[in-house]
Amino acid sequence: MSKSVYGNSRFSRGYLEDSTQPHEDIYMNQDATEMQMTTSKKTTMSSEQNSSGCRCYRLAVVCLMMLVVLLLAAIAILWFKLTTEKDQIHTSYNSMTTKRDQLQTIYNNLTAEEELLKNNFTSVAKERDQLQRKTDELQKNIFQLKNNINTPGWRYFSFSIYYISTEKKSWSESRQNCKEKGADLVIINNREEQDIVEVWRRGEGAWIGANDRNNEGIWKWVDGTAVSDGFWSSGEPNSKGEEDCAVSGYRSEPVPNWVDISCDSQYIWICEKNINI
């Protein structure tokens, strides 16, 4: 019986030992399984972590790219605005430059016109003063004309007044008489004046202002101008002897009827005063 127990005990021990082996295997299998599961979890977690890190990296790259795109867009917009403003400023500058040049041209023109107006004003002022002097002189001459016309012996013709003497004197005395009256011996400039002298001399020879007393053969009027044209009779002036003074109507013949004669001869005379109207 004891053998049986021992046998059983060995049996039991062997059984237990045998039974223990599977448990150990079970435990080992369980540990391996757990290790595999842990490794799998770690791998899964590592994979998940790697996947999460990759996604974060990609997200960061996308965000960075978006920031770069936005920055480039902002730079492009800013560049466009700056270019537009630069063009506007350049256009405005050109416009202002053009306006400045136009204003400068206008200023120069106004300055030139101002100078011209000043010159014109000065010229007009001078002309005004000259006109005033002429007006004063004209009024004076008109006053003298009125007085002279109302004086016996004076006549008016073509802006001059003439005095016809009623007595006879030498050429020098006749001229002196004219000067005392503010006049001089008549200077005949044209046929109309010669014809009126013919009427006034009343058929008598009359002294006129032509003479060659200073230079024989060179006839001049009393104002120093040359006797370029005249109404000399045929063969006159002949400069015979001391015939240095001219008489109109010596032979009572029609024009031409001037002759040269001695200045000491006695004739009536005609004075002339230009009234400068």
Query: Which pLDDT belongs to residue 274?
Result: 83
**HSE-up (13 A, CA, CB side) for residue 244:** 13
Query: Which pLDDT belongs to residue 9?
Result: 43
Query: Which pLDDT belongs to residue 265?
Result: 94
Domains of the chain by residue range: 7-109, 154-274
Q: Which two tokens stand for residue 163?
A: 């005095």
Nearest 5 degrees, angle CA 266-CA 268-CA 273?
A: 130
How far apart, in whole angstroms, are the C-alpha atoms of residue 55 and residue 49? 10
Nearest 5 degrees, angle CA 211-CA 217-CA 223?
A: 35
CB neighbours of 274 closer than 8 A, spacing ≥ 6? 159, 160
154-274 topology per CATH: Mannose-Binding Protein A; Chain A (3.10.100)
On whether the pTM is more than 0.75, the answer is: no
How far apart, in whole angstroms, are the C-alpha atoms of residue 227 and residue 187? 9
Q: Split the chain (277 residues) into runs of 10 and give each run's mean pLDDT.
A: 43 45 50 55 57 76 88 89 85 88 92 90 89 79 62 80 93 96 93 91 92 91 91 85 88 83 95 78
Query: Which pLDDT belongs to residue 264?
Result: 95
Percent helix, percent strand, percent coil in the chain, to nearest 5: 60, 15, 25
Phi, psi of 206 (to 5 degrees): -135, 140
Query: Which pLDDT belongs to residue 187?
Result: 95
Q: Per-residue DSSP letters for 104-154?
A: HHHHHHHHHHHHHHHHHHHHHHHHHHHHHHHHHHHHHHHHHHHHHHTSTTE
* 211: three-class secondary structure by DSSP: strand
